[in-house]
């Protein structure tokens, strides 16, 4: 069966995939070829799940969306490099089925499938997600000639939980630190953000407001003494930047109204800091986005109503002025 007969072409989703390729290549350099094999396994399971859902519920009258490839890439790059394959498969199947399939397929889902899948395995199999973090390769050839790096047994939700406060800013920026497969390099994520903004693939308002919410509430919490890591350093550590650029800007689960997008981003940034500082989880972006997803339709509706009221109130003044 030809690719064009099975898959729904989506140029926007393809541009997101292009932006993820440097992160994938760098993750192989850091952690070895196991990352690529993990992506292949996850993608096969994700496509199969969406295909089965379409064939069962739509009697084969619909195509698998290329968005499922984006979901698989994003999901795989948020996983620890040493996560068991079976755990990864369960997560993507859950995310595609319950985060997308039961809502009616592409364009109708409320939650981001990749985030939902990761949250499911994080809560259901915490040992697989919090105990083993691979030490990155350094120098040349890095992990290009290795299957996988050494994994340290450290109990922490993310590398935020095991002493990255002592690591300098430059390693955080470059990404030569332990972490999830594609979330370590703030520099590459920033480059991907620039590409997505220039090509009008992702909303800069969501990215910017998410960063503002994070830094604003983070500064307040830091001054209160409830967070040891400076907000600027915290922003380039853990999965926040990856989530802000790729997950928060998901065109389906994010609001459509411009005002709603700004409020949505502020909510994600603020909640991430609150969960990090006062919750039991070192990383809060995953939960913050799922919570904000539930408010997306609410924000859209009220932003539209507010805009309509402004137009109605402005109309009589324009008539008087004329």
DSSP line for 225-239: T--SS-HHHHHTSTT
- Is 179 in a helix, a strand, or coil? coil
Question: How far apart (Å, rounded) are the C-alpha atoms in residues 99 and 110?
Answer: 7
Q: What is the C-alpha to C-alpha distance for residues 181 and 79, in angstroms, rounded to an integer?
A: 6
Would you say residue 213 lies in a domain? yes
> Is residue 7 exposed (0-12), middle (13-18) or buried (19+ Cβ within 10 Å)?
middle
Work out the pLDDT band at 128, boundaries 50, 70, 90. confident
Q: What is the mean pLDDT of residues 219-238?
A: 86
For the record, the structure tokens of 263 come out as 């409020």
* Span 138-157, average pLDDT: 70
User: CA angle at residue 97 from 91 to 100, to 5 degrees?
Assistant: 110
Domain that holds residue 84: 3-307
Residue 315 lies in a domain: no
Q: Give the pLDDT mean for 281-291.
A: 88
In b/e form, how buried is each residue of 14-30, taking b as 16+ CB within 10 angstroms? ebbbebbebbbebbbbb
| Cα(190)–Cα(293) distance, integer angstroms | 23
Residue 108 corresponds to which tokens in the numbers above? 């109708």
Bigger pLDDT: 24 or 2?
Answer: 24
Could you tell me if residue 253 is inside a domain? yes
Q: Is the pLDDT of residue 68 over 80?
A: yes
In this structure, is residue 117 part of a structural domain?
A: yes
Q: What is the mean pLDDT of residues 220-231?
A: 87
Mean pLDDT on 20-46: 95
Residue 317 maps to a domain: no
CA distance linking residue 156 with residue 164, whole number of Å: 11
Q: What is the pLDDT of residue 116?
A: 95
Higher pLDDT, 140 or 162: 140
pLDDT confidence tier of residue 162, bands split at 50, 70 and 90: very low
- The reply to whether 318 falls in a domain is no
Tell me the residue length of the chain. 322
Residue % of the chain over a pLDDT of 90: 51
Euclidean distance between CA atoms 178 and 167, whole angstroms: 11
Once rounded to an integer, what is the mean pLDDT over residues 51-60?
A: 74
3-state secondary structure of 7: strand
User: What span, in angstroms and rounded, lies between the C-alpha atoms of 247 and 321?
Assistant: 46
The residue among 157, 194, 174 whose CA lies nearest residue 285 is: 157
On the question of pLDDT at 224 being above 70, the answer is yes
Q: Determine, yes or no, domain membership for 320.
A: no
Examine residue 246 and state whether it is found in any structural domain, yes or no. Answer: yes
| DSSP letter string, 241-255 | HHIIIIITT-TTTS-
Number of domains forming the structure of the chain: 1
* Burial (Cβ within 10 Å: 0-12, 13-18, ≥19) of residue 140: exposed
Q: Are 304 and 255 in contact (CB under 8 A)?
A: no
Which pTM does this prediction carry?
0.88
The structure tokens listed for 141 are: 């050839």
Taking 80 as the threshold, does the pLDDT of residue 109 lie above it?
yes
């Amino acid at each position: 069966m030809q690719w064009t007969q099975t898959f729904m072409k989506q140029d926007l989703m393809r541009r997101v995939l292009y932006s993820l390729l440097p992160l994938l290549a760098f993750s192989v350099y850091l952690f070895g070829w196991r990352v690529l094999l993990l992506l292949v396994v996850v993608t096969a399971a994700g496509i199969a799940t969406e295909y089965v859902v379409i064939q069962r519920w739509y009697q084969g009258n619909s195509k698998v969306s290329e968005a499922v490839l984006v979901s698989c890439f994003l999901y795989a790059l948020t996983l620890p490099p040493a996560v068991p394959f079976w755990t990864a498969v369960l997560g993507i199947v859950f995310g595609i089925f319950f985060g997308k399939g039961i809502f009616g397929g592409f364009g109708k889902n409320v939650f981001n499938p990749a985030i939902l899948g990761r949250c499911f395995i994080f809560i259901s199999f915490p040992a697989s997600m919090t105990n083993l973090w691979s030490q990155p390769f350094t120098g040349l050839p890095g992990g290009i000639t290795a299957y996988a790096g050494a994994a340290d047994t450290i109990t922490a939700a993310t590398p935020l939980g095991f002493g990255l406060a002592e690591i300098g800013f430059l390693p955080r920026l470059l990404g030569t630190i332990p972490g999830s497969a594609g979330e370590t390099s703030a520099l590459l994520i920033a480059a991907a953000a620039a590409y997505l903004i220039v090509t009008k693939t992702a909303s800069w308002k969501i990215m910017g407001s998410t960063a503002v919410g994070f830094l604003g509430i983070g500064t307040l919490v830091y001054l209160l003494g409830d967070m040891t890591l400076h907000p600027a350093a915290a922003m380039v550590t853990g999965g926040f930047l990856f989530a802000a650029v790729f997950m928060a800007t998901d065109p389906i689960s994010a609001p459509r109204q411009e005002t709603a997008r700004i409020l949505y981003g502020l909510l994600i940034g603020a909640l991430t800091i609150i969960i990090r500082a006062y919750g039991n989880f070192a990383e809060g972006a995953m939960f913050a986005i799922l919570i904000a997803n539930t408010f997306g339709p609410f924000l859209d509706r009220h932003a539209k109503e507010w805009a309509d009221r402004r137009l109605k109130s402005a109309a009589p003044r324009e008539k008087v002025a004329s």
